[in-house]
Amino acid sequence: MTESPFKLDRRTKIVATLGPSSSDEASIRSLLDAGVSVFRLNFSHGTHEEQKARLDCIRKLEKEVGRPVGILADLQGPKLRIGTFSEDNVHLDVGQTFTLYLDEHRGDSTGVKLPHPEVFAAQKVGEELLVDDGKIRLRITELTSNKMVTEVMVGGIISERKGVNVPGVSLPISPLTKKDRIDLKYALEIGVEWVALSFVQRVEDLIEARELIGGKAGLLAKLEKPSVLDDLENIVKHSDAIMVARGDLGVELPPERVPSIQKRIVQVARSQGKPVIVATQMLESMIHHPIPTRAEASDVATAIYDGVDAVMLSAETAAGSYPEEAVSVMGRIISETESDKNYRQMLQIYPLIGEISDADAIAIAASQIAKDRECVAVVTFTSTGSTALRAARNRGVVPILGLTPSDHVARKLSLVWGVYSIQTKDVASFSEMVGKSVRMAMRKGIAKSGDRIVVTAGVPFGTPGSTNTIRLTKVSENYEKEE
């Protein structure tokens, strides 16, 4: 049997962020070998030239490792920040008055500039503002069009240009800043597979971004604001994938609410067949230490038990001291969790909702046949990725081999649970489809002579979303000799 380039003992994928700790060729190769399926380019940091160099390196190494690798461009989004101080920092005491000014104001212990008129327009007396990821908490006591007087509820050290969160308020701003539009145009030019939209608040944000993307990449919505929960089903519907950005959610929500909200988002995404990533602070202690805490390992396992498509590493691989170790640990947690006998049962907790199409029925049948007949794989032929996504939605017991003539689609599918994608020549007939399925399964070490596989596709071939054919076939060496 040929050695597989895929980590076949894992269905859940790993997304890793590149940065100062992991941008040279040797580091990226070590992360690939450890099991990364998708690399995140964080456009909040670094120049376009640095991002292009990382992408070029990934594309080079992709050929060496023999499997498609996805690239996710993460746009910064609008950042609300306070202005500057006359000193390095000031200390705020609980109960004191601290004023935020829309107009120019050199910061001191009495107040600082907040150059965001949309915040002033959306706020009311009695509401709270969070500064520096919630380390400082302010409650509004007086409000005019250009001045916000607050009482310090949680004090401490505050320094210039710290971020501001506005919990419970949907701000009338686009998630696409001027910088984001420039970054998006560049990311599409260099050829990324996924674009992550930060600070999504409403469906209209996604519609605007989709028009700009123009089908050149998948649209991934980062859910960072609790307000998205009010229209969660529609936001998932208008996205191609979802990211649960727990770090920002946890700033605006009490920490005890984050686990249940994470589960709800994952459930909605899975029920609609949209890939879902759980991100931020997964193995955060590994930024500075070679092993995670037991609590972090349990946290990652919880997301895997929920059936997420991928788990993501941020600073752990971008700026940490142990990027390769972080990926290796993540991979071991995935393998151990997925080998638990309870894992399969927990995957079936979330039923499919809504109307089941003919294509969905074919995918469900393929998964059941693979289980009943002890097949080694489900093989899908897909031009857009929709057939493979349907197969993955069922969370079946065997790997899904996604064959596609498009290298772009193959790379996009590297984010999807249980899918091992291959870019290959298109087929023109049913018999050619079966033969190619067998050959690819054998060459990638997924099947050997005597095994069974299930093949699904849409006929006529090349018609997006037309999955209507299923075939159970036995693997034979004769198929390999045909080509």
Rounded percentage of the chain residues whose pLDDT exceeds 90: 76
Protein fold of 13-77+174-341? TIM Barrel (3.20.20)
**pLDDT higher than threshold 60 for residue 1:** no
40 is catalytic: yes
Name the band, by pLDDT with cuts 50, 70 and 90, for residue 347: confident
Out of 26-30, 296-300, 301-305, 349-353, least confident range: 349-353
Q: How far apart are CA 57 and CA 3, in angstroms?
A: 24
Question: CA dihedral in degrees (138, 143, 146, 147; nearest 10)?
Answer: -50
Q: Are 110 and 131 contacting, i.e. CB atoms less than 8 angstroms apart? A: no
Residue 326 has which token pair? 């972080």
Averaged pLDDT for residues 383-405: 93
pLDDT of residue 450: 93
Angle subtended at Cα 233 by Cα 123 and Cα 176, rounded to the nearest 5 degrees:
50
pLDDT of residue 430: 79
pLDDT of residue 352: 65
- 81, 139, 147, 443: the active-site residue: 81
Name the band, by pLDDT with cuts 50, 70 and 90, for residue 365: very high
Could you write out the DSSP letters of every residue in 24-58? SHHHHHHHHHHT--EEEEETTSS-HHHHHHHHHHH
**pLDDT higher than threshold 50 for residue 46:** yes
pLDDT of residue 483: 47
Pick the CATH number of 89-165 from 2.40.33.10, 2.40.50.140, 3.60.60.10, 3.30.465.10: 2.40.33.10
Comparing CA positions, the residue from 190, 213, 176 lying closest to residue 75 is 176
pLDDT of residue 99: 97
* Superfamily of the domain at 358-481: Pyruvate kinase, C-terminal domain (3.40.1380.20)
**What are the domain boundaries of the chain?**
13-77+174-341, 89-165, 358-481
**pLDDT higher than threshold 70 for residue 351:** no
Q: What pLDDT digit, counting tens, does each position of 88-123 carry?
A: 889 999 999 999 999 999 899 999 999 999 999 999
The alpha carbon dihedral of 300, 301, 306, 309 has a sign of: positive
Averaged pLDDT for residues 147-154: 97
Distance set, CA 75 to CA 44, 162, 200, 316, 363 (Å): 7, 19, 11, 19, 34
Residue 186 has which token pair? 């560049």
- List phi, psi (to 5°) of 426: -70, 165
- 40, 67, 137, 202: the active-site residue: 40
**pLDDT higher than threshold 80 for residue 438:** yes
- 280, 317, 467, 473: the active-site residue: 280
Averaged pLDDT for residues 21-45: 97
Contacts of 239 (CB under 8 A, 6+ apart): 206, 219, 220, 221, 274
202 is catalytic: no
Q: Quick one: DSSP state of residue 168?
A: T
Name the band, by pLDDT with cuts 50, 70 and 90, for residue 49: very high
Comparing CA positions, the residue from 61, 39, 55 lying closest to residue 310 is 39
pLDDT of residue 168: 78
β-bridge partners, 18: 41
448 is catalytic: no
pLDDT of residue 248: 82
Out of 263-267, 294-298, 395-399, 459-463, least confident range: 459-463
pLDDT of residue 353: 65
Question: CA dihedral in degrees (24, 30, 31, 35; nearest 10)?
Answer: 160
Averaged pLDDT for residues 194-210: 95
Averaged pLDDT for residues 337-357: 82
Q: How far apart are CA 244 and CA 228, in angstroms?
A: 11
Rounded percentage of the chain residues whose pLDDT exceeds 70: 96
Higher pLDDT, 284 or 480: 284
> Is the pTM higher than 0.85?
yes
332 is catalytic: no
Could you write out the DSSP letters of every residue in 227-278? GGGGGHHHHHHT-SEEEEEHHHHHHHS-GGGHHHHHHHHHHHHHHTT--EEE
